[in-house]
Amino acid sequence: MNDDEKLHEEAEALREQTAKDSPEVAEHDHVADLERQIEEAKSKALYAAAETQNVRRRLEAELQQATSYAAAQFARDMLAIKDHLERALVAVSDELRADKVASQFLTGIEATARELESVFAKHGISRIPSIGEKLDPNRHQAMMEIPSADAEPGTIVEEMQPGYVMKDRLLRPALVGVAKKPE
């Protein structure tokens, strides 16, 4: 054994003797150890409570989003019906509108289109503005470039299919034609 080890053993023996002679020192060490364990347990409990609260908040936010956008797929499907109604109404000639029977039939189709528009508005579904707007790749899909001296390049000059959003979520981009410089 070297000198350092002998000194270490003597110091340890002296500590043990002091602890035997003085139970207060041993009890103080035991109390300090218990207090440290209590602090660790408190810290772990606070951490667990904070983690539980974070999980609860995250789940509430996910539930709120799921509830808000649950009808998104149904709304996308309804857009096709709206498109067909609008195309049908645009295709009706003035001659057919003048006919009394056809006019009553068209009035019913127009009322259906208005009701569908009202339901869309009630659920936060709105049409994306296109013509005259700058192309926004997050809301518009450019299908072609159209030479134009009247419009600034990158400006939408034609809409082939309207786009829609549900609140702030894109349901369908608008299919558009964008102006370019004439050659």
Model pLDDT for residues 102-148, shown as the tens digit of each residue: 889 899 999 999 999 999 999 899 999 999 999 999 999 999 999 98
Paired tokens of 34: 């218990």
| Residues 94 and 134 occupy one common structural domain | yes
Which residues constitute the domain of residue 131? 72-180
Cα dist from 49 to 53, 62, 99, whole Å: 6, 20, 73
Looking at the predicted structure, is the pLDDT value of residue 25 above 70?
no
Same domain, 135 and 158: yes
Residues in Cβ contact with 125 at an 8 Å cutoff, skipping those fewer than 6 apart = 75, 164, 165, 166, 171
Q: How many structural domains compose the chain?
A: 2
Q: Are residues 57 and 79 in the same domain?
A: no
Residue ending a domain, among 45, 66, 87, is 66
| 42 and 111 share one domain | no
Q: Are residues 38 and 92 in the same domain?
A: no
Query: What's the start-to-end Cα distance of the chain, in Å?
Result: 98
Residues 100 and 130 in one domain: yes
Same domain? For 92 and 130 the reply is yes
What mean pLDDT comes out for the span 13-36? Answer: 70
Same domain, 76 and 37: no
Q: Which of 75, 82, 104 is nearest to 92 (CA)?
A: 104
pLDDT digits (tens, 9 = 90+) for 49-63: 999 999 999 999 988
Last residue of a domain, one of 48, 66, 84: 66
- The candidate with the shortest Cα–Cα distance to 117, out of 58, 164, 177, is 164
